[in-house]
Copies of this chain bind each other. A is one copy, B any other.
C-alpha cells in the first residue's frame, strides 16, 4: 500500500514509543510517568524518546492525537450530509473506543486528565485547538465553540459511563442501539436551534 505522506503508523520505533507511553500514562497517570519510564517500557534509550518527541508534554499530546485523530474526527463531521453528522461522529468515537468489555487506552487519557492538573491542561489544549476548534469552524450555527464542547461532554461522559464505571445498560448496549439513542443528541448540539436561556424562578 502506498504511504500517505503522513507520519508513520503504529509500527516502527516511533510507534513502539507511543504505545509504551499510552500504557504508562494509563497505568500510572501523568505525574508519575517519566520519559525514562516510557523508554524502559519501549526498550529504547531515553535520548531516543527525547529526539522523537521532545519531552513528556509532547509525548502526552502525541498519544492523545494517535487515539483521537483530529483529521478523522473532522472528516466524520464533514464527510456526508450535515443532518447525519452527529451519527457519523458518534460512530467514529464508539469504533475508536472499541469493545466495551476491555477499556481501551482512551480511558488512560481521561484518567490522566482527572488526576493531574497539568495533564488536564494539555488535554484541554489538544481538544480545544486541534479537535473541537476544527469542528466548530465547520459548523454553520451560532455558538460553535460551545456546541463542540457540549458534544465533547456527551462523548466523554459516554466513555466514562460505559467503559470506566461500566453502568450495565450502557456497557451491554450494542453500537447500533447506542447510536439510535445518542446520535440525535450529538446532532442537536452540532446543528440544533440555539436555545434561549431563561432565568430560574426562585
Which residues of A line the B interface, CB within 8 A?
29, 91, 107, 110-111, 113-115, 120, 123-124, 127-128, 132, 143, 145-146, 148-150, 152-158, 160-162, 164-170, 173-177, 179-182, 184-185, 188-189, 195-200
Contacts and interface: CB of A to CB of B under 8 A. Distances in A.
Contacts of A123: 165
Contacts of A114: 107, 110-111, 114, 160, 164
Contact of A180 (B115, B158, B177, B195): B195
A195 B185 contact: no
Contacts of A91: 200
Residue in A132, A156, A182 whose Cβ sees the most chain B Cβ within 10 Å: A156
30 contacts: A107-B114, A110-B160, A111-B114, A111-B115, A113-B165, A114-B164, A124-B166, A124-B168, A127-B167, A128-B167, A132-B167, A146-B170, A148-B169, A149-B161, A149-B167, A149-B168, A149-B170, A153-B154, A154-B157, A155-B157, A156-B157, A157-B160, A157-B161, A176-B197, A176-B198, A176-B200, A177-B197, A179-B200, A180-B195, A185-B189
B164 A153 contact: no
